[in-house]
A and B are shown apart, each in its own frame.
Chain A
Amino acid sequence: MTNGDAVARKSVLLDVKGLRKYFPIRRGLLQKTVGHVKAVDDVTFFLNEGETLSLVGESGCGKTTTARCILRAITPTSGEVLLSDRGKVLDVATIPKSELRLLRRQMQMIFQDPFSSLNPRMTLLDIVGEPLLVHGVGNAKERIDRVVEVLRLVGLRPEYMRRYPHAFSGGQRQRIGIARALALNPRLIVADEPVSALDVSVQAQILNLLLELQDKLGLTLLFVAHDLSVVKHISERVAVMYVGRIVETAPTAELFGSPRHPYTEALMSAVPIPNPRLRSERIVLQGEVADPANTPPGCHFHPRCKYAQTVCREKAPVQEEIAPNHFVSCHRARELTLRGVASSIS
């Protein structure tokens, strides 16, 4: 792990170092631990103030677990999650539970499914006002004022605040979820697949809203997603995960234009482009994603990698900064020339 150039790291809001989350596999009468699912296995990245970093990868690669560890919705097995708070640096991973609530005012989450993440028995006012209530912000009147304010912010009419979630469409419900996340004026928003449950025509509305809110409020956004087109649209930097590890982190244009990790190359080549004139040769990966309970030795990607050599089977690659702000974990990153995404439509 290298430290990057000084400029890039000057205003780091969140610094994740060597994050690990192992879930025990228990079997038998005595529930003996027989193994571990290595959901997150040594993840290191940082997030600058006001930027959008996307975490992409296929299902089961550990992106949601990483997001949950950062919020300490689950406690990581090891590693540091450093959040800078007015000059101080706090480790979210080890801070005592009693102090966690103060930290949580700074970081909020937006969930994937706008149908199951809103309580059907609560009105908008209750839902959006609940974080304020939990954190003891203001009196009843002030809380209503704040709810009105955030509802306006996300493009919902405040008159609707006495209604229940069932009266709203999927896109509107996702706006409610965003309003709830914004109520406490957090600095970091973790959005876990916020648009993947929505229809395409509504998806664009929510993406625009997120970009607009970020401009207005200076939010820092950790965007967890599997849809690369969406990721490319919204993020400034992208981190690609594969079986519990980050394989590559780079500024968006650089990652898509000239990927340096074979998995990134294959992942991007697999995305269907909505342009029938660009039916290009795809790299079709053979085999299956490795089982996080039984990971292959060396580089996790080597059984599917067409560039794999002996060293890849034996030694896990170390993340290194191959170009400014471009981190790769691949033994052959410096020698390979990989294909990016065609950048223009002819």
Chain B
Amino acid sequence: MPDAAKPLLSVRNLKTCFFQDEGTTQAVDGASFDVFPGKTLGIVGESGCGKSVTAQSILRIVDRPGRIVEGEIILSRADGSEVDVVKLKANGREIRAIRGGDIGLIFQEPMTSFSPVHTVGTQIMEAVLLHSAVGRKEARLRGIEALRSVGIPKPERRIDEYSFELSGGLRQRAMIAVALASNPRLLIADEPTTALDVTTQAQILDLLRKLQQERGMAIMLITHNLGVVAEMADDVVVMYLGRVVEQGKVDDIFHDPKHPYTKALLQSIPSIDSTPRVKLPTISGSIPHPFNRPTGCPFHPRCESFKPGRCDTEVPLLKPVGEGRTASCFLYQ
């Protein structure tokens, strides 16, 4: 890493598996990356690549029958101490102080992540009351302040409304207000704009950028939308079937991709500034079923640079391919 700064969060060789009757699914299979203070890390990948499970692992909220099998998730806390989240008890006091305290989380579906039977205010105050030693009155004021800071008009009134009374964009803003209520140093945003329209998406991305500048928090942005990543991220991690295939600065990833998957993915998206009605290069085949994981490099059945005897037998490791960037491909090893 070229950054001299110490990472805020450092994930090493994380493996999260789901143990089901039909077999074991390796949702995350040896992912490693760092999140730096004040920076935005974009995690990109298609469905089933393990990006959401990675976020759940960091907060230790992986649903059963899933669990973290191996790896380290080192979080440096506000007091300078370091803690390995993997070693904590999944419902212990320490992890509960981290969830919503050190790390805030925004979900994709603002509709389903709010409780419909509690007001927005109750749910923001819950976060404030859990993480700071304040009374209800003060918590309510902070809740109103949080709603105002995310650009919700008339927060004094909105705080007593229910989530279904808000529009999609306002609901996502309220979600962000809950996540930010206790001043986290890392915000994990799991597909924060996927359920929103483009103009609302632009508003939310704008808001996230503004809040990051004001508070200097780090953002881990999980998305499948390469446009959103290009616009928001400083660093990018590309995942495929639970593995990090490439990692680097946003400009390097988009303008000089190394891994065949990253290259193919970038070529296959129609861009608003590309030539219309020409055939798009495609990635052959489709994402394999998790029970049908290919041997060796998980991308080899769809890869154009596939080398028989190597790619289908050995698993490539993440190795440096330039300054501050790594890729897991035998082309560079």
Contact = CB atoms under 8 A, between A and B. Distances in A.
Interface of A: 58-59, 169-172, 199-205, 207-208, 211-212, 226, 228-230, 232-236, 252-253, 256, 266-279, 282, 284-285, 288-289, 341-345
A40 B286 CA distance: 38
B216 interface: no
B280 A233 contact: yes
Contacts of A284: 199, 202-203, 206
Nearest to B206: A284
A171 B280 CA distance: 15
B198 A274 contact: no
Given A252-B276, A288-B167, A342-B273, 18 more contacts: A169-B286, A199-B47, A200-B268, A201-B283, A202-B286, A226-B198, A233-B274, A233-B280, A269-B202, A270-B201, A272-B228, A273-B272, A274-B271, A276-B250, A276-B251, A277-B251, A285-B199, A285-B203
B282 A208 contact: yes
B287 A229 contact: no
28 contacts: A59-B197, A169-B287, A199-B47, A200-B46, A200-B226, A201-B287, A204-B269, A204-B270, A204-B282, A226-B198, A229-B269, A230-B270, A232-B272, A233-B277, A236-B277, A267-B198, A272-B201, A272-B228, A272-B230, A273-B231, A274-B229, A276-B233, A276-B251, A279-B230, A282-B202, A282-B206, A285-B203, A288-B167
The interface residues of chain A, by DSSP majority, are classed as helix
Nearest to B225: A272
Nearest to A272: B227
Contacts of B270: 204, 207, 229-230, 232-234
A116 B198 CA distance: 25
B153 to A, nearest CB: 9
Nearest to A270: B202
Contacts of A288: 167, 169-170
Nearest to B252: A276
A205 B274 CA distance: 17
B279 interface: yes
B286 A274 contact: no
A253 B197 contact: no
Contacts of A269: 202
Given A172-B286, A205-B282, A270-B198, A276 B268 contact: no
B118 to A, nearest CB: 23
A290 to B, nearest CB: 11
B264 interface: yes
A311 B300 CA distance: 61
A88 to B, nearest CB: 31
Interface in B237-275: 250-251, 254-255, 264-266, 268-274
Nearest to A268: B272
Given A211-B277, A274-B226, A58 B231 contact: no
Contacts of B279: 208, 211-212
B198 A273 contact: no
A294 B281 CA distance: 45
Given A272-B205, A274-B230, A288-B167, A58 B280 contact: no
A265 B280 CA distance: 26
Looking at A169, A171, A229, A267, the one whose CB has the most chain B CB atoms below 10 A away is A229
Interface string B167-201: 10110000000000000000000000000011111
Contacts of A212: 279
Contacts of A345: 273
B226 to A, nearest CB: 4
B224 interface: yes
Nearest to B275: A233
A197 B225 CA distance: 13
B230 A275 contact: yes
Contacts of B277: 211, 233-234, 236
Contacts of B227: 229, 271-274
Interface string B25-57: 000000000000000000000110000000000
A109 B170 CA distance: 34
Contacts of A232: 270, 272, 274, 276
Contacts of B255: 276-277
Contact of A229 (B202, B231, B271, B286): B271
Contacts of B276: 232-235, 252-253
Contacts of A230: 270
A344 B272 CA distance: 10
Contacts of A268: 272
A228 B198 contact: yes
B230 A276 contact: yes
Contacts of B266: 274
Contacts of A273: 227, 230-231, 271-273
Contacts of A344: 273
A234 B275 CA distance: 10
Given A276-B230, A276-B251, A201 B268 contact: yes
A219 to B, nearest CB: 14
Nearest to B284: A205
B61 to A, nearest CB: 25
A269 B46 CA distance: 25
Contacts of B269: 200, 203-204, 229, 274
Which are the 8 A-B pairs with shortest beta-carbon distances? A272-B227, A233-B270, A270-B202, A58-B197, A204-B268, A274-B226, A204-B280, A201-B283
Nearest to A253: B276
B199 A58 contact: yes
A133 B199 CA distance: 44
Contact of A266 (B199, B271, B274, B286): B199
Interface string B105-135: 0000000000000000000000000000000
Contacts of B47: 199
Contacts of B169: 288
A203 B271 CA distance: 13
Contacts of B205: 272
A289 B203 CA distance: 13
